[in-house]
Structures are given as structure tokens and as C-alpha cells.
Amino acid sequence: MRGSIFLIFGVFLLAATPAWSASCGNGPAGFEAWKQAFIAGSAQHGLKQRVVQRALKDVRYNPKVVRLDRNQKSFKLSFEQFYAKRVNNAMIRRGQKLGKTYGRIFKGIERKYGVPAPVILSIWGLETNYGSFSGNMPVLQSLATLAYDCRRARFFTNELVNALIIVQRRDMTPAEMKGAWAGEIGQTQFLASSYVKYAVDYDRNGRRDLIRSIPDVLASTANYLAKHGWRRGQGWAPGTANYKVLQKWNKAGVYVKAISVMAAKIGG
């Protein structure tokens, strides 16, 4: 999964959240006061205070999240090194098999969004090895910790608000929201702001669930690309308009090229 390397890739930051009175901090001492101030001011974010109170009741400052945020390393691998590290023939074969297993769903998704199965399969494989591991850290705890931390408080306050919107609209409970250390959620690793904006209830069960519902995962990934300008019926090789769309999924050049090459191989 993206984890610390690909923290801000593949996300869409919503408009800046309203100003509020709580102060950020650089250690655990002020976290509880910050949390209570956030809860008290939740209405200005369009949130119901009782929902936020329940959701954040047991949330504590997590020093591990701050350490991971501080220790991100720049990504220096060449494409060849990256591709060899992340992709192998077994992944390609598994992608092809999953394309057949969910063939009917993929056909419906392509009809609706214009995004072909190999591209979605490539992203699914690269992000979480087709859902094998999408993270096990409590999303609200991670985001609250990072929203309180002064380094990127504005960015992560926005993500925390969006994660609480997910809870408020009953897509997931706080306990169900487990993900990567920086709050990425689901089998293709959406940050909460992207989840709110692009997740779809493709299986029509009344919830947008990018952790357990494969139809929702695949369709939401296609919706993200479609909303960013994917051109139906066109290729995705470097230099194409669709390749530029993939660059909006992830800003790392080696990652985007890996999506493109892997998708071509899955498609045969």
C-alpha cells in the first residue's frame, strides 16, 4: 500500500475547512483539550456534535503515527527498480484471474464510467495487492493525531472532518474504519476527502464501503478516474490524455508508469 511513501498521492483535497479555536500541538500533553475543543466546534464543519462525541470518545494521541509522519523518505527508485520491487508475474496472473471472476461487474463499470478493467485491476493490485492488506490502524485516531499535530494540521483537519462525514452518513462505523497510518481507507487507499467525494454504492446496499465491498471498491476507483477526465475508449500509455489522469491518482512518476505497464500486461 502507499503508506508513508505515497501519503498525498491519489487524493483530492476539498476546500479548506473553517477556522476554529483549538490550537495544534507537538506532543501528547494538549491533545485531550484539543479534542474537546474540536468536538465543541464540530457544527461549523457541518457535523452533528453527538456523532463526533461518540466517534472520538476513545480516540487518544498516537505517537507512532507522528513518528511515521516525521520519518517519511523521499522516493528515489528508478522505474525498473520500483517495478521489480512491486510487480511480478504472479500479480499479473492474479489480476487476470480476478478480471474474469468479476467480469460482469467490470463490464458494468466500464459501461458506466468508461474505465477498462485492466486499469482498475492494476491500481487495486499496486495499492493493496488486490485487497490483501489495506491497513489495520484506527483511521479516526490517526487523523485526529495528525490534525492536532502542528506540522500539517490544516490538511489533516480536513481529512478528519471528512472521515467523520463518512461516519455521520453511516457508510462505516468508527470501529470499521481501519486503514494505513495516515488515514488511507480501503482496498484502493482513498483518503477520507476522496472517499466522500468519489465513493459510490455500486452494490446498492445503502452504504459506500471501500473496505469490504469489492463492487464499491472497483466502481469508486473508476469514478475517481472518470471525474478527473478519463477518456472512454482511449489508451493510457505515456503521452495520452488518460496517462495524465493517472498522474492525478498518484504524483510519483514511477508509480504512474507502473500502473500503465501493469494494466497493459493484465489486458494482454
Query: Which residues, in sequence order, are CB contacts of 241 under 8 Å at separation 6+?
Result: 229, 231, 234
Helix residue ranges, H only, 29-151: 31-40, 49-56, 63-70, 79-86, 89-101, 103-113, 117-128, 139-148
Q: What is the pLDDT of residues 106-130, one digit of tens each?
A: 999 999 999 999 999 999 999 999 9
Is the pLDDT at 77 greater than 50? The verdict is yes
Is the pLDDT at 171 greater than 60? The verdict is yes
Q: What is the pLDDT of residues 194-221, one digit of tens each?
A: 999 999 999 999 999 999 999 999 999 9
Cβ atoms of 4 and 68 within 8 Å: the answer is: yes
pLDDT the model gives residue 40? 96
Is the pLDDT at 13 greater than 60? The verdict is no
Q: What is the pLDDT of residues 41-50, one digit of tens each?
A: 999 999 999 9
Architecture of domain 79-132+202-267: Orthogonal Bundle (1.10)
Confidence of residue 22 (pLDDT cuts 50, 70, 90): low
Residue 219 gets the label, from left (phi > 0), alpha (psi -120 to 50) or beta, of: alpha
Q: What is the mean pLDDT of the chain?
A: 91
pLDDT the model gives residue 4? 35
pLDDT the model gives residue 71? 84
Q: What is the pLDDT of residues 180-196, one digit of tens each?
A: 999 999 999 999 999 99
Give mean pLDDT, residues 10-20. 39
Give mean pLDDT, residues 65-92. 89
Is the pLDDT at 68 greater than 60? The verdict is yes
Is the pLDDT at 172 greater than 70? The verdict is yes
Q: What is the DSSP string of 145-201?
A: HHHHBSTTHHHHHHHHHHHHHHHHTTSS-GGG-EE-TT--BTTTTB-HHHHHHH---
pTM of the model: 0.88
Query: Which residues, in sequence order, are CB contacts of 12 under 8 Å at separation 6+?
Result: 193, 194, 197, 198, 224
Architecture of domain 28-72+135-196: Orthogonal Bundle (1.10)
Query: Which residues, in sequence order, are CB contacts of 262 under 8 Å at separation 6+?
Result: 83, 87, 91, 92, 95, 122, 125, 126
For 128-133, which contacts have Cβ atoms below 8 Å and span 24 or more sequence positions?
A: 128/1, 128/187, 128/188, 128/189, 129/91, 130/94, 130/95, 130/98, 130/187, 131/187, 131/214, 131/217, 133/1
The C-alpha cell 500479480 sits at 91
| Domain locations in the chain as residue ranges | 28-72+135-196, 79-132+202-267
